[in-house]
Amino acid sequence: MKRIVQILIFSSLMLSTAYADAPSAWQVLARSKGSTKSYPSVVQELLKDDLYFTAIPYLKEYLSSNKKMSKKVDILIDRVVTQVGIRQFEVLSNSILDRTTASTVQYILAKKLFRSGQYKRALNKLNGTITRSHPVKPFALQLEGSIFALLGKTQNAASAFRNCITESKNQMNSASSENRLRQLAINRDYCIVGIPRVEFANKSYEDASLSYLELPKDSYVWPEILFEEAWNSFYLRDYNRTLGKLVTYKAPIMNFTFNPEIEVLQALTYMELCLYDDARNVIDGFYKEYQEKSLSVKKFLKKYKKNYKYFYLLAKSKKNGKNAGNTLLNQLLDSVLKDATFLELVESFNIGRDEIEKVKGLRNSRMKKVFIANLRESLLLQRDLIGAYVRKSLHLEIDKLDESFEGMTYIKLEILGRKKKNLYYDIVKETRDRGDIRNVKRNEKQYFWTFNGEFWADELGDYVFSLKSECSK
């Protein structure tokens, strides 16, 4: 940023009255002679032409150079962050961010405090200056509910999630873009499932089972919630419904989803039904599918380390239909490309790129050079933020895969122990058919449906197995 500021100061001093047709922002810079005190006025003028990404370096420099912000600056920060996303400003230190009471920055601080485990401080930020009508309020309520849930304050959590649902819906009615509408819809749906998550944590599994059904199947987050529903059914000992939820992930329409814990829970469920051969088949298939491929992905991640540009280009290439590496890496990338945060980062990047043509159209060459330099700084950071997110997501998935291997090893050992016990007590299994409709349980919101050639897309997630436990009484 210092290099760009130096260019800016030099160009401002060189400006003459010959460039009388320059935009107002450039004229403000000329009068200021490089002083950061003029930057809020510069930003204000840039926003008139929707040059949000071009304005980012001026706001960051002003925040870094001044310890107190006026209400006018707070409003400008809110406008810019709402448009470009929070991640451009998350890179700033907490001490710098704390200099403004802008609602979006308070939310950013709360998220950073939340990630570092400082839950009470995070709540203080959320309950400080964020008004109900502010664009960031629905997201603040979702974060608030999550914090209350982690603190064990279940009633507060449920209340925050319900308020989040209402506020998200209210703002969806006046959403200014498809991107904004999608963000609010995803936020609303995470708050909908926040309620059954609280109930699950409270061990109110029956309540959670009903509450999960409030999430519509056309929701963007629904595929990942199936796994949670499967665990809830597992704790209810409704193992057939657990298996039904998990088998849904085999539908072609769900092939972008990657979660190795799905197969761990599947094997665990078969074990609880004492269907040891089925459990062993799942475990063997899991090792065959992922053991070598995961090692290959680990080498790949080790090779490129923190080359964020490479990971950005990798995701971009995959989005354009080009495969890379083994099938596991491609599956992981497909999952990232569908991720809500990734989509938001890319959308912001595209908004920034749209500013390039506007800036290139400026007639003053010095002005053009300075603004392009600032825009380039913002876009390069956004590119690296995307690359960093892709890299982090791949690492997290590989870590989950390692944990899943450990889980499978435990299940294998447990099955061996149980088989030995059966042999010791000379327990003999009865011979019978595997499926029986009498083994299917349902509540008042669930209906029995006989299949007659339906496609996978019909009633996804409502499959139920009808297996009988082979465990001895």
pLDDT in tens, 357-383: 888 888 778 888 989 999 999 999 999
Domain identity same for 175 and 242: yes
CATH of the domain at 172: 1.25.40.10
Question: Could you tell me the two tokens for 368?
Answer: 């053009």
235 Cβ contact partners less than 8 Å away, ≥ 6 residues apart: 200, 203, 205
Domain membership of residue 471 (yes or no) is: no
Q: In the prediction, which pLDDT does 455 show? A: 44
Q: In the prediction, which pLDDT does 363 show? A: 79
Mean pLDDT of 290-314: 96
Domain identity same for 305 and 394: yes
Domain membership of residue 454 (yes or no) is: no
> What domain count does the chain have?
2
Domain identity same for 51 and 144: no
Q: Does the pLDDT value for residue 128 go beyond 60?
A: yes
Domain identity same for 113 and 93: no
Domain identity same for 89 and 156: no
127 Cβ contact partners less than 8 Å away, ≥ 6 residues apart: 144
Cβ atoms of 19 and 26 within 8 Å: the answer is: yes
Domain identity same for 159 and 236: yes
Domain identity same for 266 and 212: yes
Domain identity same for 66 and 163: no
Q: Does the pLDDT value for residue 295 go beyond 90?
A: yes
Domain identity same for 302 and 434: yes
Please give the Cα distance from 77 to 92 (Å, whole number).
13
Domain identity same for 325 and 233: yes
pTM score of the predicted model? 0.85
Mean pLDDT of 402-420: 93
Please give the Cα distance from 213 to 218 (Å, whole number).
12
Print the domain residue range for 83: 1-99
Q: In the prediction, which pLDDT does 330 show? A: 94
Q: In the prediction, which pLDDT does 123 show? A: 95
Please give the Cα distance from 324 to 143 (Å, whole number).
36
Domain membership of residue 52 (yes or no) is: yes
Domain identity same for 360 and 378: yes
Burial, 211: exposed, middle or buried (Cβ in 10 Å; 0-12, 13-18, 19+)?
buried
* DSSP reduced 3-state for 260: coil
Domain membership of residue 473 (yes or no) is: no
Domain identity same for 311 and 195: yes
Domain membership of residue 447 (yes or no) is: no
Domain membership of residue 244 (yes or no) is: yes
Domain membership of residue 467 (yes or no) is: no
Cβ atoms of 378 and 53 within 8 Å: the answer is: yes
Domain membership of residue 104 (yes or no) is: yes
Q: Does the pLDDT value for residue 43 go beyond 80?
A: yes
